Structure 1
Amino acid sequence: MSSTGTNAYCLPCQQLTHWIEILVRDENNQPFSGVTGVVVDSNQVEHPVELSDAPILIEQLPPGPVQLVLDAEPWILEAQAETHPRNNTDKPTKDFAAGYSGHNGGLVKYAEITTGDLTLLPEKVTLPTYHQKGQGDAVKLIVDKTYVLQVRAYKFITLRVGMFFDGTANNTYGAKWGKQELEKYYSTWKAKYEADCDILSRKTGYSKNDIPEVLLSDDCFAYPKKDNFFISLFKNDDGEIETVEGSATNELTNVQKLSDLYIQSDGSIIEGLFTDSIYVTGIGTGNSTNIAPADESVIWGQGAGIGEYGVVEKVNTGIEQFISLIKLQKTKFEKNPNNPIDGICKIQFDAFGFSRGAAAARHFINVVANGKAGQLAKFVEKEVLQGNTYLPYRFDWNETEKNKASCEITFAGLFDTVASVVHLVSLSSKTVLDFDFSTHTDNGAAKLWLDPKRVRQAVHLTADSTIECRDNFSLNHLNSRDEEHFYEFVLPGAHSDIGGGYQSRLSYKEKDDYLLPVLEKQLIKKVHRHFSDRWSEERAIKYVEKKLDLYKQRDLLTGWDPKSYIDSPIIKTVKNGKGEGGHVSGSLFIKRRVEGDLSRLYLRLMYGLAEFHGVPISDDEEFVWSDPDMGFYNVKDSYLSNRTSFSFEAFNKKILKMAKQGDYEGLDAEFKDPKLKRNLMSMNLFHHSSSDSIGMGPLWNESEGCYRRASYECKEGE
C-alpha cells in the first residue's frame, strides 16, 4: 500500500480514471473541520484528506468502492462538539443535497450516518448505541458519485445534583415518624399539663394560663414512652404509645428543607440541564427510608463519627445513591426514542451539610476533587463500561478551569461544621491503635479542606461561640475565607439553631397550645461530695451548693434569663449502709420554653445566597415561606414569647431579600449588630445546648472569663 496512489500489482492504465466527491456535514448543514483521515480506494491505496467547508474530491481512482476513514480521536472530539447540535425541527442538510450540483454533473446521494461509520475505534473506546457503526443508513461509497453524508448529532446533558448530608442524629424518616407519634400524644400530654397548671395555680396564685415553665413538673417535659409488657396488659388506651427518643425527637433540619426546595427534573431536559437531589441521612443513623424509628449507632456513629454510619461511610452512601441516580436517569431518557440523550457532558454538584453532615459534604467535595483517581470517578467509569451511562470523549475529571471543567462543585452550603471524628489509627505513633477519643482535635479519614479551584462558591454559617460552647462541638472553619468566593458567617444561636432540628409549634397545625415539643429542660451541673460523719455532711452540702451557684453565675454570663433556673438546686444525701458516711449530690436545672424558629431565619439566609449563586432551587416565588400547609418553613411573631418592638417575622423577610441579592456586606453588618443578639435572647430563641451529660459540657475560657467553644483552622490536605 502506498500514499502515492501506486501499487506494484495493479494495472494503472485500466484503473486510474475515476473520482469521488464527499461532503461531511452535521444536522444543521455545517461542515466539520480540523479532522484528518484517508480515503482508501479499491486497491487499498490511502489518499490523505482533511474535513473542511470544501468538499473532499479525489480523482484518478480505480473503479469500485472506497472507504473514508477518519482519525479516531480528532473525529470523535469534533463530532461530539457543542458546535454541532442536534436539529429536531428540519432537514437542512438533506435539502442542501437535493439542490447540490455534483462533480461533473454526477449523481448526488444523501445518507444519514453515524460517527462510528467513519472511523476505527481504539481499544476500550465506545460510542453510544445511537452512534455506533451500522446504526445509520446503509451506504456504500462508489466512485464517480457525489455523497452528502449527514452525521448524527449528539445530545449530551449537564447533570446537576444537590447532595444533602444531614447532621449527627438527624434523620428525616425517623423525625417524620416521631412527629406522627407526638401528634397522637397531644391529648395525653394536654391532660397532664392542665392538671399540673391547675395545682400550681392554687399553690402559687398564678393564673393557669401564666404558669412559668420553670415551675412545671418533669411530667410536662417528658416525651412519650412505651409501657412495658405487663403494664400494657392492664391498660385500655385508644392507641398504644410508642417511645419517642433519639432522632425521632427532632424536627426536619435545614438540610432536608433545602433538599425539598431543590428543583428535580421530571424527566424533561430544560436547556440541556437535568437536575435532581440526593438526601443522605444523618451521621449515626441508618440509611432506611421507611417512616419509622431510625437504626441509631449512638456510641460509634453519633459519639465518635466513625463506623457503619460515620462521616466517611455516609459519603460512600451518597456516592452509591448517585450511581443509582445515573442508572435511573438512563431509563428515563430511553423513554423518548425520538430524541435520545447520549450521555452526560458535565457533572455539577451542590453540596449541603449540617454538623458532621457538613464534614461529610466537605469530604465528598474532596472525593470529587480527587479527579480521575478518586472514588467517584472510578464508580462512574465502571457504569460507562457496563453501558449504564456515557461520557463524551473530551470528559476530563481533572480539569479545574470553570469553562472547561467536566466535573465541578458549583456551590457548598455548610451549616456549622463539627467534624468531631474519633481517631483510632495513628500513622505517626509507634502503635497502630492510639485510641484518641478527643473528638475535636482530629478529623480521622475525613478531609475538610476545600480547593478554591474546584469549588465555585462556598458559604459557611457558624454558631456564636459563646452560645454554642460545648467542649466536644469544636468548629472546623472554612479554609481560604479571604477568597472572594468563600464566605463564613458567625451567627447568633446554638449549633442546631443554625442547622435546624429543634421543634417549632408552627409545625403542629391546629395545636397552638402544644408546648411539649418546645419545652427545654437541661441539667446545667451536677456536683458530688463525700462525707464521713454528720459534721462533714453539712460541709459537703454547703460545698455542693456553693459549687452549683458558681456554675450558675458562669452560665448567666452568657445572658440567660435568671428566672429560667430552678429556685433551689436539688440536693440529695445518700448514707453508706450502717455508718455515718455517705455522699451529697446536687443538680442545677434550667426549665424554659424555646421556640425552634431561629433556624428558619438561617434557612432563608442560605436559601437566598444559593439562589443568588444560581443553584437550581425554588421557593415558588416566596409562597413557601408563608403557606400554612408548609409549616416547617413558616415564621410568625404571634408564636414568640417576650415580644418587643423587634419583629422577628419582618427580619426574616429582610434577610431573605438581602440574601437573594447577594448582599454579603449588608448581611454581615446585620448579624454583627449586638442588638440582634440581645433581641433574640430576650425572645427565648436560643437553645441552651450545653449540659452536664456526657460530651455536652461547656468549655470554660479562663483568659476571657466566659464559656467559649474552641475552633480550628483547616489545613490543606486535611
Structure 2
Amino acid sequence: MSGKPAARASDPTACPVPGHGTNPITAGSPDVQFDHLPAARQGDPTACGSALAGNVIATVSINGKPATTLGTLGSHGNAVVGGSGTVLIGNSHAPAPFTSPAPLAMAASAAQALAPSLPQRPGDTLARNWQEEPGDPAPLGVEEEDEEEELEEEIQQGITLRVGFFFDGTGDNAANVVRGEQCRASQLGYDAADERALLEYCPPHQLDPMTSYGRQRTNIARLFDLYEDDSLRTLKRTDQQALLRIYIEGAGTETDNQDQQFPDMALGTGDTGVLEKVARSGSLFLERLKFLLSKNPNLLIESIEIDVFGFSRGAAAARHFVNDLRKGSSSLLAKALPPAQPPLMEGFSWRFGQDVKVNLIGLFDTVAAIGDLSDGWDVNDDRNGDLKLHLTPDSAKRVIHLVAGDEYRHNYSLNSTQPNFSEIVLPGAHGDIGGNYPLEAEEKLFLTRPFHDEVDNRLPNEESLAWKQASSALASWSQRGLIDSARPNGKLYIDWRQVRSTNSPIRRKVIYTQVKLDRRVRGEYGGIPLRIMHALAQEAGGPFKLLDEYDPETAIPRQLQAVAEKLLAYAQGKTALNLSFEEQDLLYAHYLHQSAHWNVHPGESGALTVHFVNRPARSGQRAVHPNNPDSVSLL
C-alpha cells in the first residue's frame, strides 16, 4: 500500500514563523475520524494561527474539502510532521524497489488498510440522523441529558496523566526531515507549480542533504507517532487516564533553523546541546497540557506516569530527564507546573515514586559523548559534565536498552545500563538500531588509515610497502562479508595515488594506499529494532497503537521476515540469538551499515585541519562505560 500518513486534529506542524515552533492541528472533520481523531482537511486551522493550504490530496475529498497528509503545508509555511499510523492517503510515496514488503507473521493482526468507508462513532451517526423540524418534540431523554451534562460540568474529573517523552538523536529532527523532503519536491513527484511554491519556504540550509534536512525520520519519531494522545480529545466521564506525547528534536538541531555543528553536534554541548534539550521538557509539557485542558477544563490530576524514550544522545537525555524527576518539586516539570497549582490535586507535590512514577524507559543505543574543557574535549571517555546517566534499580518499572552489536567507532562509546538493567544486543551499527538510514544508500568508505611509502620512481607501485600493507588489509576485509559474491552489490579494492617526493622530486615518489568500499546498502533493517521496542513496550503496558505492517517507511521485506521474527523472539527472552550463516551473510552484505571508516571530515568553518570523526576504536572494540553513579574512568 502506498501513500502518506493521513493528517488528523492534534497532529503536529512545524512553523517557520519566529517563536511559533511546533503546533498541533486544532480542528478537523466533524464526522470522519482516523484512529479516533478528526480527519484534517484543507482549511483546517493550526495552533499557530495558520490554515492547512498546500500539498493536499485533491483526489480524496472529506466533507467536500481535499484531504491532508504528512507533508501538507500551512499558510505560514508550516509543515505537517505527524500523521496516522494506520491510514495512508495518496500515491506520492512508495517503498524503494527490492522485494514487495509483506506483513510479518508475528504481527499479522496489526496490518491495517484504508477501509472503503470512513470510520464513525455510533453516537455521531445518531446525532446526524436526527434533525429538528418545526413543532417536533426533542428526542426522548435529550432535555434530561442536557441538564445532567450541565451539572457534570461542575464536577472535577480525577485522572492519572500519562505522558510519553521522545528524545531524538544527534542531528535528527523529524520536522526538518519533512521540510527537506518538501524542498526536494521534484524528487517526490510534485509538479512544477508545487515545487515553485515550496521553494519559497526553502532557504539554502534546508536544501543541504548533509544536514538534519537530508536525513530520515528515526525510530524515535516513529514511536512518537504510535503513542496515543488525548490532547485534543474530550474525555468521557468514565475515563480515568489521559495520554499526552511530547517530541524533542536531537542535539545540534532546531526546527527550520540551521544545524549547529560546533560545539552542539560535535561535543553535545552549546545552545542546542543535550542539557538544553532536556531543559525544554517543562515548557513543552505545559504546552501540551494546555491543549488537553482546553477540551477538559474540569480535569484534576491525581498522579502522573511517565514513559521516556531516546536514541543516541537522546537516550542520554532521557536518562538525565529521569534523574531530574528525582528532584521532586525542584524538577523541570515541577517548575513548569508547581505543586498546589491547578489542575494538580491538593497534596500533589511531585514526589518521585509517589506523585510521579516512571513506567517505561526505552533506549536505542545510549551514546552520551559529551566533551568539555574538563576532559580535554574527549567524547570517548565517561566524563559527561553535568549530565546524569546513572539509572538506579527504582528508576522505572521497566528499562529496555537495545544495543548496537557492530558499533566500534572511537567517538561512539556505549553508556551501558548494566549492572542494574539488562541489555539486548542486536546486529548492526548505531544508526541501524536508531533507524535513521535511508531506504537505499551508497557507501564510499575508506576502511583503513592511509598507508604511505617513499620509493624510487622506477619501482612498481605494487612492490612498495604501502601497497603490500593495503593488500594485507584488503585480504582481511574481504573475509567480513561486506560484498555478496552471489549477488554483487559493490566492490572492495585498493585506492591509491602517488605524488612527487619533496626530498627528491625527480628520482623519488610517495605512494599512498587505502582499502576502499564502494557498495549499495539498504535501510529496511531499522524497522526491526522499531518492532522490538514497540512489542516490548506494549508488553510492559505502553499505550501504543498497532504498527502498520504495510507502511512503506517501516515495512519489512520478505528477505528479512525470518530474521525479524528470530530477533523479536530473542529480545523477548524466548530463544537464543540463532541466526543462520545465510541470514548473517544477507544482513552484513545488504542491510547493515559500515559505520567505522577513515573518511575525512573537514574542520569547522573550512579550517585546514581534518578530522577522522568516524574512525574505529584503536582496539577494534567499542568502549563500554558501566552504569555507575557519577563514574569517572581514565581510558
Normalised TM-score (structure 1): 0.57
Shift of 1:324: 1.9
From the superposition, tell whether residues 475 and 263 of structure 1 become closer, same or farther in structure 2 (CA, over 3 Å): same
Shift of 1:634: 1.0
Matched, 1:454 2:395: yes
Shift of 1:356: 0.8
Matched, 1:259 2:227: no
Tell me the equivalent position of 2:625.
712
- 1 CA distance for matches of 2:317 and 2:541? 23
Matched, 1:586 2:510: no
CA distances 1:488-513 after superposition (whole Å, capped 9, x unpaired): 10101111111111111xxxxxxxxx
Please give the residue correspondences for 1:541-552 in structure 2 after superposition, counting only pairs within 5 Å: 542-552=464-474
Tell me the equivalent position of 2:361.
412
- 2 CA distance for matches of 1:696 and 1:348? 38
Tell me the equivalent position of 2:450.
527
Tell me the equivalent position of 1:29.
none
Tell me the equivalent position of 1:198.
none
Among 324, 340, 343, the alignment partner of 1:367 is 324
Please give the residue correspondences for 1:155-194 in structure 2 after superposition, counting only pairs within 5 Å: 155-181=157-183, 184-185=186-187
Among 332, 338, 348, the alignment partner of 1:395 is 348
Among 597, 601, 615, the alignment partner of 2:528 is 601
Q: How many residues are treated as equivalent by the alignment?
A: 447
Among 523, 547, 567, the alignment partner of 2:493 is 567
- 1 CA distance for matches of 2:534 and 2:290? 29
Tell me the equivalent position of 2:540.
613
From the superposition, tell whether residues 441 and 653 of structure 1 become closer, same or farther in structure 2 (CA, over 3 Å): closer
- 1 CA distance for matches of 2:403 and 2:282? 26
From the superposition, tell whether residues 263 and 256 of structure 1 become closer, same or farther in structure 2 (CA, over 3 Å): same
Cα RMSD (Å): 3.3
Tell me the equivalent position of 1:269.
235
- 1 CA distance for matches of 2:182 and 2:518? 25
Please identify, of 691-700 and 408-417, the stretch whose mean Cα deviation from structure 2 is larger. Answer: 691-700
| Contact kept in structure 2, 1:181 and 1:244, CA below 8 Å | no
Letter in 2 for 1:625: E
Matched, 1:476 2:384: no
- 2 CA distance for matches of 1:248 and 1:572? 38
SS of structure 2 residue aligned to 1:322:
helix
| Contact kept in structure 2, 1:521 and 1:592, CA below 8 Å | yes
Shift of 1:692: 0.4
| Contact kept in structure 2, 1:157 and 1:272, CA below 8 Å | yes
Tell me the equivalent position of 1:421.
370
Normalised TM-score (structure 2): 0.64
Letter in 1 for 2:332: Q
Please give the residue correspondences for 1:646-657 in structure 2 after superposition, counting only pairs within 5 Å: 647-652=559-564
| Higher RCO structure, 1 or 2 (CA under 8 Å, sep 6+) | 2
Tell me the equivalent position of 1:207.
none
CA distances 1:359-380 after superposition (whole Å, capped 9, x unpaired): 1111111111222233332332
Shift of 1:608: 0.5
Matched, 1:691 2:615: no
- 1 CA distance for matches of 2:455 and 2:566? 63
- 2 CA distance for matches of 1:394 and 1:247? 44
Q: Which has the larger radius of gyration?
A: 1
Shift of 1:161: 1.2
Among 274, 277, 291, the alignment partner of 1:311 is 274
Shift of 1:539: 7.8
Among 303, 325, 344, the alignment partner of 2:301 is 344
Structure 1: any 5+ residue segments left out of the alignment? Answer: 1-136, 138-151, 188-240, 335-339, 426-433, 505-516, 638-646, 702-706
| Contact kept in structure 2, 1:323 and 1:380, CA below 8 Å | yes
SS of structure 1 residue aligned to 2:591:
coil
- 1 CA distance for matches of 2:441 and 2:185? 14
From the superposition, tell whether residues 497 and 272 of structure 1 become closer, same or farther in structure 2 (CA, over 3 Å): same
SS of structure 2 residue aligned to 1:251:
coil
Shift of 1:166: 0.7
| Contact kept in structure 1, 2:369 and 2:381, CA below 8 Å | yes
SS of structure 2 residue aligned to 1:544:
helix
Tell me the equivalent position of 1:625.
549
CA distances 1:653-672 after superposition (whole Å, capped 9, x unpaired): 5666x59xxx72215x1x35
Among 328, 332, 335, the alignment partner of 2:291 is 328
Tell me the equivalent position of 2:572.
664
| Contact kept in structure 1, 2:281 and 2:333, CA below 8 Å | no
Shift of 1:301: 1.6
From the superposition, tell whether residues 242 and 359 of structure 1 become closer, same or farther in structure 2 (CA, over 3 Å): closer
- 1 CA distance for matches of 2:473 and 2:504? 33
| Contact kept in structure 2, 1:268 and 1:274, CA below 8 Å | no
Shift of 1:469: 1.3
Please identify, of 549-558 and 467-476, the stretch whose mean Cα deviation from structure 2 is larger. Answer: 549-558
CA distances 1:78-110 after superposition (whole Å, capped 9, x unpaired): xxxxxxxxxxxxxxxxxxxxxxxxxxxxxxxxx
- 1 CA distance for matches of 2:286 and 2:425? 36
Tell me the equivalent position of 2:59.
none
| Contact kept in structure 1, 2:181 and 2:188, CA below 8 Å | no
Tell me the equivalent position of 2:434.
499
